[in-house]
Amino acid sequence: MNTIYILWLRQLKRYIRSRSRIIGSLGQPMLFLVALGFGFGPIFQRAGAGNYMNFLAPGIIAQGIIFTAIFSGIELIWDRQFGFLKETLVAPVSRLEIMIGRTLGGATIATL
């Protein structure tokens, strides 16, 4: 259980320390909501389809979650390249705990 917590905490610390990831993961959806939501909103209402923001928001949320999941996969490749993954896998802990810790870390970041 301690292994899961440590790997989860590592994922969160890496996210918090990377300003470019924070700006990208929060700024991109806001940009899409502002640009597309307010840009196409009046056209969407003239067509009689209702509120465009209600139509657009679920897709942007899903896009943010998928982007975070892809970046978590890329982090795994970086860990392999820099040798951290090898050190983690030879440690006397269960590989299931390693997988759960990394997965929970990525899921927490995606939820944020």
* Residues 71-96 pLDDT 10s: 888 888 888 888 888 888 888 888 89
CA angle, residues 38, 34, 41, in degrees to nearest 5: 20
Q: Quote the domain boundaries for residue 64.
A: 2-111
Amino acid 9: pLDDT: 92
CA distance 68 to 2: 24
* Residues 11-70 pLDDT 10s: 899 889 988 888 888 888 888 888 877 777 777 777 776 777 777 888 888 888 888 888
Structural domain count, the chain: 1
pLDDT tier for residue 5 given thresholds of 50, 70 and 90: very high
**DSSP-based helix, strand, coil % in the chain, nearest 5:** 90, 0, 10
Amino acid 49: pLDDT: 67
For the full predicted model, state whether its pTM sits above 0.75: no
